[in-house]
A and B are shown apart, each in its own frame.
Chain A
Amino acid sequence: MTDTAQQDVPTVLGPDCCFKGEITFDKAMRVHGRMEGKITSLGRLHVARDAKLQAEVEAASIVIEGQLRGPIIAAERLELKQSARYEGDIKAHRMIVEEGAVFSGHVSVGPEVVKPQPGHAPRGGNGPMVAQLMPAALTR
């Protein structure tokens, strides 16, 4: 990995890492290893080709090249690359699927899909984090 790539992605879960639990990050994270639990972010998540995740994911932008199982909420963009293997439910503002990607699950895509629900107060802790902190332009 080049230095510039490392600077772009400040958090990296290495290929020999096996993580169980909850991760929150601000800017970007790349996962190469195994992970089980929950990922919450306002930034970018990159699931690398060699990664295997079983997790609930909420992030602004998600790129999947590896294997992921679990529900996804992408406030801005979800990208399934050619080598992606995904199983779970998708809620995304925009979705891009490359030829060769394999996925199954319930899909909700559109500008109206990912927005804060009236019942979930932005200040409280119950609503999805992405929905709470999403840019106002996305919620219109």
Chain B
Amino acid sequence: MLEDTFAEGEERQTIHCLHCLRPQQVSARAITLTCKFCNKPLKVEPLVISQYQARRVIETCGCLTVEKHGNVFSDRVLCGSLVARGRIRGNIISFGPVLVGPEAHIRGNITAPSLAVGEGAVLEGNYRIGEAREENLEC
């Protein structure tokens, strides 16, 4: 069992593989790892974007934070959770809560288990909140 490989007292976190969607426990200090089910590489570290970034794909099992001056253009954003304070243009699939700050602008589709929207945020897109994600993984 993977759990046996943890050192005694080591902090753990549960992540979902972005590819096979299966949950697994990993060390809280892990930065990158390989999914024990599908053997695909995963990034676990939290990602903070505070300036303009255009990327085809943004993937992390950790928390993605787009700061106030962050401006993200991406075809596909896959993350463990999302905190949006700036601008995002792209389709977002989050495995955890999506928190949208009052000054955030998000254009694109969002699939997430829960959503919190601050007063004044601007949103545009197709949303699926609180439902199964499997069918939406093909962006």
Which residues 81-138 of A sit at the B interface, judged by CB distance below 8 A? 94-97, 99-113
Contact present for A97 and B129 (CB under 8 Å): yes
B123 within 8 A of A: yes
CA distance A97 to B125 in the complex (A): 16
Say yes or no: B123 contacts A100, CB within 8 Å: no
A105 CA to B127 CA in the complex, in Å? 5
The B interface, classified by DSSP as helix, strand, loop or mixed, is: strand
Cα distance A101–B128 in the bound complex, in angstroms: 10
B121 contacts A by Cβ under 8 Å: yes
> What chain B residues lie within 8 Å of A111 (beta carbons)?
120, 122
**A45 CB → nearest B CB, Å:** 19
Q: How far is the CA of A110 from the CA of B127 in the complex (A)?
A: 15
Question: Is B54 in the interface zone, CB < 8 Å from A?
Answer: no
Asked if B115 is an interface residue, CB under 8 A from chain A, the answer is yes
- Number of A positions contacting B (CB below 8 A): 19
Per the bound structure, the CA–CA distance linking A113 and B122 in Å amounts to 9
User: What are the residues of chain A within 8 A of B97 when measuring CB–CB?
Assistant: 99
Residues of chain A with a CB closer than 8 A to B122's CB:
109-113
The A-contacting residues of B in range 80-139, CB under 8 angstroms, are 97, 114-117, 119-131
Residues of A within 8 A of B119 (CB): 94
Q: How far is the CA of A129 from the CA of B125 in the complex (A)?
A: 24
A95 to B122, CA, bound (A): 10
Known: A97-B114, A97-B117, A99-B114. A104 touches B131 (CB 8 A): yes
B residues near A (Cβ < 8 Å) are 97, 114-117, 119-131
Given contacts A97-B129, A101-B130, A107-B125, 6 further A-B pairs with CB under 8 A are A102-B129, A103-B130, A104-B127, A106-B125, A110-B121, A113-B122
